[in-house]
A = this chain, B = another copy of it.
Amino acid sequence: MTKTPARAPFAYDGLDRAIHEKARLGVLTSLMAHPAGLTFVDLKHLCGLTDGNLSRHLQVLQEAGMVEIIKGYERNRPLTQCRLTPAGRQRFLDYLAVLEQVVRDAAAAAREGSSGGSAEEAPSAESLRLHTA
């Protein structure tokens, strides 16, 4: 196990590699909103993924114990259901707390970095509009 030096405020060790992948972030967010599960087809559309890509990412999440895949039938046709496990849900919530910290740190950095900069730079930092709905 590698240890991060104590003074590495921007190491972000909590950004779990199983989760911190663009497509998997979409898959987990979709499943978080549907605790009863989603079909493979619905998930594919919500995340804008191909069959192959979704299969690959679901496999990573299943191996990590975050997602369960239930293969069944409905009216004699195969139907695959995907569901977040309780451990997966908790791990995703933990990850999100770190992600929120990244957004907060970067917004603070943008403010800090632009305070000594040109007038032109200031609106970019403002455009983040952190903490407004």
| Chain A positions near chain B (C-beta within 8 angstroms) | 4-5, 7-13, 15, 17, 20, 22, 25-30, 32-36, 45-49, 89-90, 92-93, 96-97, 99-100, 102-110, 112-114, 116-117, 121, 124-125, 127-128, 130-133
Contacts and interface: CB of A to CB of B under 8 A. Distances in A.
B102 A25 contact: yes
Contact of A106 (B13, B29, B34, B130): B29
Contact of A22 (B20, B92, B112): B20
Say what secondary structure dominates the interface of chain A. Answer: helix
Contacts of A121: 35, 89
Contacts of A36: 116
Contact of A12 (B8, B9, B22, B92): B22
Contacts of A4: 48
B35 A114 contact: yes
Contacts of A35: 113-114, 116-117, 121
Nearest to A107: B96
Given A10-B30, A20-B22, A35-B114, 13 more contacts: A8-B46, A10-B25, A10-B47, A11-B26, A15-B22, A29-B102, A29-B105, A32-B110, A33-B112, A34-B113, A35-B117, A93-B128, A99-B102
